[in-house]
Amino acid sequence: MAVIKANKVEFEVIRQDVPGAAAKYMMVLSYEPVGYQSKEIIDIVLCNQIPYIKLAKEDSRILDVLQMSGPDGHTTSPYLPPKEVFGKGPTVQEVIDQANSDVEYDYSKGKITKEEYQKWFTGK
């Protein structure tokens, strides 16, 4: 399995209503590589059943399925686009990174002591 960092990712589900098609559904996963303007296809998967599509979020403890669709139906009604499912707010990691950045800034400006700075990052 390849791990790829990309600028953009596209996941297509195509119902093939073509006589003689190899399968009823074709899923195409493609991406735009970092630093390039091209579309690279990673995989094409063929299947005769409606594919399951899952939108989930993960933190250090759990994988939380926010919405899923497939042959069995939907977990949410109405089915929402990914932007609405994930929301516009910051992720937990983005909040932590910002807090750490704020502490580093305060230390660099002399607003907190070295001991307070070290306590923040070590928890002691």
* pTM of the predicted model as reported, rounded to 2 decimal places: 0.62
One digit per residue, the tens of pLDDT, for the chain of length 124 reads 788 989 899 999 999 999 999 999 999 999 999 888 899 999 999 999 999 998 998 888 888 888 888 888 777 777 788 888 887 777 777 788 888 888 888 888 888 888 888 888 787 6
Q: Cβ(6)–Cβ(27) under 8 Å?
A: no
pLDDT at 101: 85
In terms of Cα–Cα distance, which of 86, 94, 92, 95 is closest to 60? Answer: 92
Q: Cβ(120)–Cβ(103) under 8 Å?
A: yes
pLDDT at 124: 60
pLDDT at 69: 86
pLDDT at 27: 97
* CA trace torsion 102, 103, 106, 108 (10° rounding): -110
